[in-house]
Structure 1
Amino acid sequence: MKVAFFYRRLNQGGIQRMLINCAEYFASSGHDVSIILIEKVGEYLDTIDPRIKIIPFENRQKANLFRSFKKILLKEEFDVLFTASPPLNIFAVLCKLFINTKTKIVISENNNTVSLFNNNKLTASKLTFFGIPLVYRFADCIVAVSKGLSDNLSSLALIPKHKIKTIYNPAFSNNLLMHMHDEISHPWLTDKQVPVLINVARLANAKNQKMLVHAVARVLKTRQVKLLIVGEGPLRDMLQEEIDKLNLREYIDLVGFQLNPVSWIAKSDLFVLSSDYEGFGMVVVEALATGVTVVTTKCDYGPSEIVNDGEYGYLASVGDEEDLANKILYALKNPLQKENQMQRAKDFHVDTVMEKYHELFTSLAVS
């Protein structure tokens, strides 16, 4: 079977890691696998299995995107093409409607699409939103990465629920286990004096690390902790200013993007996700895989499903710094059993999840 995965670029992000996990599974199963990129850049490029073919667009100017994509599809004649964001989903489906190709298009919804309207800026993603009810129905298959997201997409796209498959992201891989014990040189982890909290996420509004900073300020009134924030993004300067304003530089450190953040999580005492919204929350699974106790906001849609409504992690109210601080304090006093956390992560193992994708792709390829 000839399979392609389509995305913009392979920079940091949960969707990118998910696509790589999917591609590597199919490659290791003996299939002909490609990753199509609008732009051949990103931190993950050098980590790709050499069996996977990287196909960049010939021309990434907006006026030439369709021509570049058409040329790739007609030349490669894929059996199945998989993509995973609303703009690219719509682009791929529309292209197929205008191209004489037998390639089956599987689109995946990974984000809470309503969240696009949380600010007043007019963006391409917002404009895409209005195309979802018109275009998604022409895809060969629609996948949502959580049950909540599936329900949300059904109402937005005006598509019956039974036509949307819910398949969780393949977030737990053997590669994850391999890097769990990588050495880390950060002094807060190598010479631990107090409990270390960790947050791994892009520094962006959706992840609400500003609220997390304020929650940690509240925690520090009760007990000593340190917080490591792993990731990069447009809000780095704002977050650093907030940390400095609250005189928290000796307690909170922005350590930037790390290729294998699981090694940082494994050496911490508590993982904290402060997001306002998620589509799935791959990093929550990665945290569970290390056995560390998890505190996450009960945001739409994935994290609460991953921790099974509190069985495998503590849930805090979205946007509530006081509740988050209280849950952090409670979790530090009442850590969850490592064995249970690690066992839950296995439910999202690549081999388990990808069996469903393999079955789906195979059925489409022969139909």
Structure 2
Amino acid sequence: MTTDAAHHIAVLVPSLRGGGAERVAVDLSNHFAMCGARVDLLLVRNEGPYAGALRKEVNIVDFDKDRATRCLLPLRRYLRAERPQVMLSFLNHINILAVIAKRLSRVDTRLIVSERNSLVRFREGGLNRVLRSLTALFYPMADGIVAVSQEMKLELSRDLGLPDKRIVAIPNPVDTEMIAGLSRHVPSHPWLHDREKPVILAMGRLVAQKNFPVLLRAFHRVWRSHGAKLLVLGEGPLRAKLESQVVDLGIRDHVDLVGFQDNPFGWMAASDVFVSASRYEGFPNALVQAMACGLPVVSTDCPTGPREILEDGRWGRLVPVNDAEALASAIIKTLDDPTPPDVRTRVKAYQPDQIFRQYAQILQIPDEQLRYTA
């Protein structure tokens, strides 16, 4: 362990709820703290299931605010008082806040912002249009930008005119050993133990981005041909609409919206196909996690991430966005495929030690101050 002049790292994220950014923030905080760095995890509000996953060495700084904008002055005060060598922030609106706070505090802290989602969302108008302008204005003021896929790096450079040399593509880490251990705990849900009916699994917040209405229409076709079941892990504001659609399609007895699950990996290991119908992504964690469980996958060819992860369809079928018929056909072909690819092989590219080393480079953490562990 490093004891002298430990590198001081601040990690800024909204909360410890069940999102991909929050998971990566926790994993990075734990890793760097374990390696001897001084790590402050800065939270808009300390809430969510990932709190229990933090190592005791990670110092939580809870601003305890109900919205990110109210953290501007507390964050400025923190930077002035603590002066960490580097701060890593996650999610677009938080990144903009971090840039403003650093400029107001006038400290020499190195600021790295991590963009987590495709810029396609900026085409939706309203607040997203404002965020696009703010992103183009403030991101160049950061010392570095992390994109979670090569395609997203291209988006940031091409669509916002951000300097390519300041952007680094770093995918999310996938801890295959941890996932393998947790995947042995198969839930008691009866569909997971009835091997006569194939089980389709989907996972994500019940929001427009994930495009569950298209998935439900596709599943209706799969159910009619294969008598399949569909399990959806996740919670969100569209639950009532999706439940209504399930009834309208006549598949109420074959679809279960089971809600958020702390351990989705047992569900993945016991299912037959994982499906992502998203309109856009950044780096779809659930897709790679399902692959880590050995589950065959089908995904929309949405920006960004799936094509890169699946290497143009080598590791799973890709279909156009918003095409329920194509999605259904791909699911059926995957169910009927006697020799699916060994998707676990692909996931080896996302081992945590490799990803953490890439973050250490852009954060400019000296090797001698960190003892890397696999």
Same fold (TM > 0.5): yes
Paired position in structure 1 for 2:34: 28
Q: In the aligned structure 2, how far is the partner of 1:224 from the partner of 1:64?
A: 51
Q: Does 1:46 align with 2:48?
A: no
Q: Give the counterpart letter for 2:107 in structure 1.
A: T
CA separation of 1:249 and 1:61: change in aligned 2, threshold 3 A? closer
Q: Contact (CA 8 Å) 1:134, 1:157: kept in 2 or not? A: no
Name the counterpart of 2:202.
Answer: 199
Q: Which residue number in structure 1 is paired with residue 326 of structure 2? A: 323
Letter in 1 for 2:41: I
Contact 1:291 1:342 in 2 (8 A): yes
Deviations 1:59-97 (A, max 9, x none): 556774222111222232211111121211111111111
Q: How far 1:230 sits from its partner (Å)?
A: 0.2
Contact 1:110/1:280, CA 8 A, preserved across alignment: yes
What's the offset of the Cα at 1:335?
5.3
Report the residue type matching 2:364 in the other structure.
T
Residue 112 of structure 1 aligns with an amino acid whose one-letter code is S
- Distance apart, 1:42 and its partner CA: 1.3
- Distance of 2:236 and 2:17 partners within structure 1: 11
CA distance in 2, matches of 1:226, 1:294: 16
Q: What is the 5 A alignment of 1:217-228?
A: 217-228=220-231
Alpha-carbon distance in 1 for matches of 2:64, 2:189 = 42
Mapped partners of 1:349, 1:269: distance in 2: 24
What's the RMSD between the two structures over aligned residues?
A: 1.9
SS at match of 1:241: helix
The separation in 2 between residues aligned to 1:353 and 1:61, in whole angstroms, is 30
**1:255 aligned counterpart, secondary structure:** strand
Tell whether the 8 Å contact from 2:26 to 2:53 is kept in structure 1 after alignment. no
> Structure 1, residues 39-58: CA drift from partner, whole Å, max 9, x if none?
11112222222221111116
Q: 1:29 to 1:299 in 2, by over 3 A?
A: same
The answer to whether the 8 A contact 2:45-2:64 is kept is no
Q: Deviation of residue 162 (structure 1)?
A: 2.6
Match of 1:348 among 350, 360, 372: 350
* C-alpha distance in structure 1 between counterparts of 2:58 and 2:133, whole Å: 34
The match for 1:146 among 129, 146, 149 is 149
Shift of 1:174: 3.4
- Which residue identity does 1:359 align to in structure 2? Q
Cα distance in 2 for residues equivalent to 1:38 and 1:58: 6
Number of the residue aligned with 1:82 = 88
1:219–1:329 contact (8 Å) kept in structure 2: yes
Moved more, 324-333 or 57-66: 57-66
Q: Which runs of 5+ in 1 are unaligned?
A: none
1:361 aligns with 2:367: no
Report whether the alignment pairs 1:213 with 2:216.
yes
**Structure 2 residue 99 is the aligned partner of structure 1 residue 93:** yes
Residues 259-281 of structure 1, C-alpha deviation per residue, up to 9 Å, x if partnerless? 11122111101000010100111
Larger mean Cα displacement after TM superposition, 19-28 or 202-211 = 19-28
> Residue 274 in 1 paired to residue 277 in 2?
yes
Determine the structure 1 residue equivalent to 2:250.
Answer: 247
In structure 1, which of residues 16, 22, 33 is the aligned counterpart of residue 22 of structure 2? 16
The aligned runs of 1:149-164 (5 Å cut-off) are: 149-164=152-167
- TM-score, length-normalised on structure 2? 0.92
- The alpha carbon displacement at 1:136 in A equals 0.8
Give the match for residue 109 of structure 1.
Answer: 115
Distance in 2, Cα, partners of 1:243 & 1:281: 25
What SS does the aligned partner of 1:44 have?
A: helix
Q: Which residue of 2 aligns with 1:183?
A: 186
User: In the alignment, is the contact (CA less than 8 A) between 2:269 and 2:293 conserved in 1?
Assistant: yes
Contact 1:132 1:156 in 2 (8 A): no
When residues 234 and 261 of structure 1 are mapped into structure 2, their CA distance, relative to the original with a 3 A threshold, is same
* CA displacement at 1:171 relative to structure 2: 2.9
CA contact (8 A) 1:136 1:157 kept: no
Structure 2: segments with no counterpart, 5+ residues? 1-6, 369-374
Change (3 A) 1:58 1:213: closer
Contact 1:133-1:156 within 8 A present in 2 as well? no
Q: Quote the Cα distance in structure 1 between the aligned partners of 2:35 and 2:68.
A: 35
Contact 1:197–1:270 (8 Å) recurs in 2: yes
The answer on whether the counterparts of 2:45 and 2:62 sit within 8 Å (CA) in structure 1 is: yes
SS where residue 202 of structure 2 aligns?
Answer: strand
Task: State the TM-score, normalizing by the size of structure 1.
Answer: 0.93
Secondary structure of the residue aligned to 1:228 is strand
Q: Give the number of equivalent residue pairs.
A: 362
